[in-house]
Amino acid sequence: MIRLKNARVIDPSSGLDAELDILVEDGVIRAIDRPGSFDGTAVAESHDLSGCVVAPGFIDVHVHLREPGFEHKETVHTGSLAAVRGGFTAIAPMANTDPVNDNAIVTRFILDRARSANLARVYPIGAVTKGQKGEELAEIGLMAKEGIRALSDDGMPVMNSALMRRAMEYARMFDLPVISHAEDAALSKGAPMTEGAVSSLLGYPGNPNASEEIMVAREIALCRATGARVHLAHLSTREGVALVRRAKEDGLPVTAEVTPHHLMLNEFSLLKGGHECVHHQPRTDYKMAPPLRSEQDQEALREALRSGVIDLVASDHAPHGCVDKEVEFELAANGILGLQTTVPLLLELVERGVLSWSRMIESLTVAPARLLGLRDLGTLQAGKPADLVVLDPNVEFRLRREDLVSISENSPFIGRKFKGKVLKTMVGGDWK
Ligand SMILES: [Zn+2]
């Protein structure tokens, strides 16, 4: 048995926010009660967590683990290690591997790798279309049987609306959410940054907000037509937020996520110093899809997360090597690491009063658990698996390259000072 004492326990699933003790036995939460309640119980381990926060283990519905196919960038093992170091006890990897996770064999391979890594719980996301080519549906039923928890062609928007409609009809049969990377590929083609002040200043073609708005509107229309659960990945525009708000008011099963980088950065971040190797261009660590948008968009995303219009935060952890990033801005790969920086960045928003503790934790626990249909996770209720995270909100540190356990190191946050750190992560009763 393990006893955790004197922590501030915050569990939005049961409305808990108080100083409490927790007893863990045989991989499950045995009981939670007032400090001192379990002092008479014989335990193998006891931890005094005064000053710390304990929350249900965090769940990230949007990561790229790169295995199979791109093991020089990340593997299921290294990505899962980054997850538990970052406070995440469950992660859902996207299907854009090589081969693509569009059939049960690849799904089983990823689950096998996760089992041997024995770190975070891994819930694969299956592709919507074969090879993510947008031409014919993937083996949705077989993948569902093997254990996928959602469908997505993330990164390769399904431009064929009839095919997306069919995918949603199938998804509904298996109660799987369809996760949409909402981007009109024709509008964003050849545009490495958002259309706006900075693209004009630097002379790059711009990706307009309309690229997202059009596809968010389409997914909502298809949700209305099919009744499938639709989840909008990494929302980046105020127009996208407004459409999601209205869809929710209409009672549609639409949910949305935002990344920490879209909450913390905006298009002006691109002006902060060029790359060491290729001069006179923005740092490619600020290049992502969707791109960093305007300050108004950033403010709308923060407000939407606060109010619950945006349900959850996902890292979009996207490891890339130097050959993908140390090139011209137009050619550089999209995306940055996220698993180890998401929690410290969100704690910054809590510290600054932008986000409440309970809303931050809800967006990393209850909301993602609901999306993936993980009924036992995202909660500290007695009898549930002992997946939890211990945070120290007062530790100050500067993020160093060597702190990142990913194979890749593409993060614009290296060198940034943080207040608030993940101390320990427990999965199924074991410290990881
Ligand atoms: Zn995406």
What's the CA-to-centroid distance between 386 and ligand 1, angstroms?
31
Report the alpha-carbon distance of residue 62 to residue 225 in Å, rounded: 26
154-172 as b/e: b if 16+ CB within 10 A: bbbbbeeeebbbbbbebbb
What's the CA-to-centroid distance between 289 and ligand 1, angstroms?
6
In the residue annotation, 60 being an active-site residue is answered as: no
Which residue among the candidates 285, 311, 316, 387 is catalytic per the annotation? Answer: 316
What's the CA-to-centroid distance between 129 and ligand 1, angstroms?
15
Name, in order, each residue with C-beta under 8 angstroms of 281's C-beta and a sequence gap of 6 or more: 202, 274, 275, 328, 329
What's the CA-to-centroid distance between 156 and ligand 1, angstroms?
8
- Side chain identity at residue 2, one-letter code: I
- Structural domains in the chain plus CATH codes: 2-53+387-431 (2.30.40.10), 58-372 (3.20.20.140)
What's the CA-to-centroid distance between 29 and ligand 1, angstroms?
35
* Measured CA distances, 314 to 28, 52, 64, 268 (Å): 26, 23, 11, 22
- Determine contact, residues 294/240, Cβ cutoff 8 Å: no
What's the CA-to-centroid distance between 249 and ligand 1, angstroms?
25
Query: Going residue by residue through the chain (432 aa), what tens digit of pLDDT does each one get?
Result: 999 999 999 999 999 999 999 999 999 999 999 999 999 999 999 999 999 999 999 999 999 999 999 999 999 999 999 999 999 999 999 999 999 999 999 999 999 999 999 999 999 999 999 999 999 999 999 999 999 999 999 999 999 999 999 999 999 999 999 999 999 999 999 999 999 999 999 999 999 999 999 999 999 999 999 999 999 999 999 999 999 999 999 999 999 999 999 999 999 999 875 544 445 678 888 999 999 999 999 999 999 999 999 999 999 999 999 888 888 888 899 999 999 999 999 999 999 999 999 999 999 999 999 999 999 999 999 999 999 999 999 999 999 999 999 999 999 999 999 999 999 999 999 999
Global pTM value: 0.97
